[in-house]
Chain A
């Protein structure tokens, strides 16, 4: 085994990130790049620090996360409801098939203009498109999860006299959890891209502005360092959420032997 492979994973990743940052910094300082085009890591850190100190960046992050979480909660609940309806009835299954065929290929950001007409220039519009981005991956994966529950598990549940809602919450949802987590992960990926894109287009100013708005605003004032700072926050949050999903999986489906550890 090489020296590199023997290092712990965290050290390997940290070294790579440090190397990338160093090359980036060297490119900007030694290459005489227009600071208006590319900001150096140190400039970005400085800009991020300044906006963190006066609370602007936290506020933008908070607004984005609130819109995302609200949208995802609404979308996930509707997704669960559709999938549950689909396991219990033929018409529910057909409805799910028709709705997902229509809406799944449609990038939900394309609905934003409509949402703006319906809900106005308000965060409600963003929550709406995020929910729309979330419903289909959650519904499809949950439905698939329900359908692949082992026959014996289902018979054992029915043998206990479980039916209807209690069957869904007591057995179907936990048994389908590996697929459900996959669905929510996909929903998060769609939702996260959608919320940032929506904010970029949306551009509501002031207190309601999120990270997309923050970036667009920085572009308006040609604050390249701040654009980069916004992108870094988006990326770091993404990494944290992925880590959170990993944590949830280790505490549930991996612990229960329903999914192998990564």
Chain B
């Protein structure tokens, strides 16, 4: 699905010919149908890595293959759900956001696009908001709409950058459960960036822990099938990830909620 070999990504700063290395020596693979979670301290380069997989940026060094080809241009086969709420087009209703995406990205005929949009909105449970404009929705509803739009494209991969980061606990837990169900039903490959250890273990089949800036891969931990938050195995994994994230890195500034 995705194969990364010694990937490094630099940001060039044209103002003073500076260069910031965001990612260094990243080698990993994402397997078809799995939920691959990327976790790491703030500013370490998680978004950068996701943008590189999405094709918004190119690796400065190393090799990054998506389905066997270098990821050059962004495209609807790698649908992205962003953290920010303004990823929906403000001038279209929720339904039209999905219909428009299908029309331009998949050339779907209008009627078929409408049917599909309604099915997707039902899947993420926001049918009653279908005719509303994005600014009329709550944060959680916006993220549901964004997920519906991404899923409608039938991507080979769903790339999610802290999609629930700005939501309250209850909404967040609810959406985590729904995402897990959607994953089970559709089998879509998911790459998920998160700050939350609990979210990583609950949703992830494997969790890749990244170190502080410039990001290097610290370890990839197997966390598949952990839906019981109360189980001893879950607690053990939480301890392990927390250890990897916090205790081995003294000057780390992981947000409080991530260290639950």
Q: How far is the CB of A168 from chain B (nearest CB, A)?
A: 13
Which residues of the other chain, B, contact A155 by a CB distance below 8 angstroms? 51, 56, 74, 80, 82, 87
Q: Find B89's partner among A158, A174, A255 (CB 8 Å cutoff).
A: A174
List of A residues within 8 angstroms of B56 by Cβ:
155, 158
Q: Is B91 a contact partner of A156 (Cβ separation < 8 A)?
A: no
Assuming A160-B101, A161-B74, is B134 touching A257 (CB within 8 A)?
yes
Are B133 and A257 in touch, CB under 8 angstroms?
yes
From A156, A174, A177, A255, contact of B87 by CB (8 A): A156
How many interface residues does chain B have, given as a range?
Answer: 20 to 34
A256–B90 touching, CB < 8 Å = yes
The B-contacting residues of A in range 193-228, CB under 8 angstroms, are none
Residue among A166, A252, A257 facing the most chain B CB atoms (10 A cut-off): A257
List residues of B whose CB falls within 8 A of some A CB. 51, 54, 56, 73-76, 78-80, 82, 84, 86-91, 100-101, 104-105, 133-136, 153
Among residues of B, the one whose C-beta sits closest to the C-beta of A152 is B84
Residues of A within 8 Å of B, CB-based: how many? 21
The one of B79, B84, B91, B133 in contact with A159, judged by C-beta atoms closer than 8 angstroms, is B79
List, sorted by A's number, 27 A–B pairs whose CB atoms are closer than 8 Å: A153-B87, A153-B89, A155-B56, A155-B74, A155-B82, A156-B80, A156-B87, A158-B74, A159-B54, A159-B74, A159-B78, A160-B76, A160-B105, A160-B153, A161-B74, A161-B76, A161-B104, A161-B105, A166-B104, A171-B89, A175-B91, A252-B91, A255-B133, A256-B91, A257-B90, A257-B134, A257-B136
Cβ of A81 under 8 Å from chain B:
no
> Residue-by-residue, is A145-170 near B (CB-CB < 8 Å gives 1, otherwise 0)?
00000101101101111100010001
Q: Which residues of A contact B79 (CB under 8 A)?
A: 159
Which chain A residues lie closer than 8 Å to B153 at the CB level? 160
Question: Is A258 close to B, CB under 8 A?
Answer: yes
Q: How far is the CB of B113 from chain A (nearest CB, A)?
A: 13
Q: CA of A155 to CA of B47 in the docked complex: distance in angstroms?
A: 13
Quick check: B86 and A152 within 8 Å, CB to CB? yes
B116 to chain A minimum Cβ distance, whole angstroms, is 15
> Which of chain A's residues have a CB closer than 8 A to the CB of B80?
155-156, 159
Chain B residues in 8 Å Cβ range of A171:
89
A257: B residues at CB distance < 8 A:
90, 133-136
- What 4 additional pairs, Cβ within 8 angstroms, besides A159-B78, A175-B91? A150-B86, A159-B75, A174-B91, A256-B91
- Residue in A153, A155, A159, A258 with the greatest tally of chain B CB atoms within 10 Å: A159
Q: Which of A235-262 contact B (CB under 8 A)?
A: 252, 255-258
Q: Which residue of A lies closest to B135 (CB)?
A: A257
CA A252 to CA B92, docked complex, whole Å: 10
A256 and B75 contact, CB distance less than 8 A: no
Point out the residues of chain B lying under 8 angstroms from A161, CB to CB: 73-76, 104-105
Residues of B with C-beta under 8 A to A255: 133
The answer to whether residues A177 and B101 also contact, given A155-B56, A158-B56, A257-B134 and a CB cut-off of 8 A, is no
A252 CA / B78 CA spacing, docked (Å): 31
Interface membership of chain A positions 76-94, coded 1 if the CB is closer than 8 angstroms to chain B and 0 otherwise: 0000000000000000000
Chain A nearest Cβ from B160, distance in angstroms: 12
C-alpha gap A155/B55 in the complex (Å): 10
Query: Nearest chain-B residue to A174 (Cβ)?
Result: B91
Q: Do A162 and B135 touch (CB < 8 A)? A: no
Residue contact A159 to B86, C-beta cutoff 8 Å = no
Asked if B90 contacts A175 (CB within 8 A), the reply is yes
In the complex, which of the residues B73, B86, B105 has the most CB atoms of chain A within 10 Å of its own CB atom?
A: B86
B104:A258 contact, CB within 8 angstroms: no
Q: For the complex, what is the distance from the CA of A175 to the CA of B153, rounded to whole Å?
A: 22
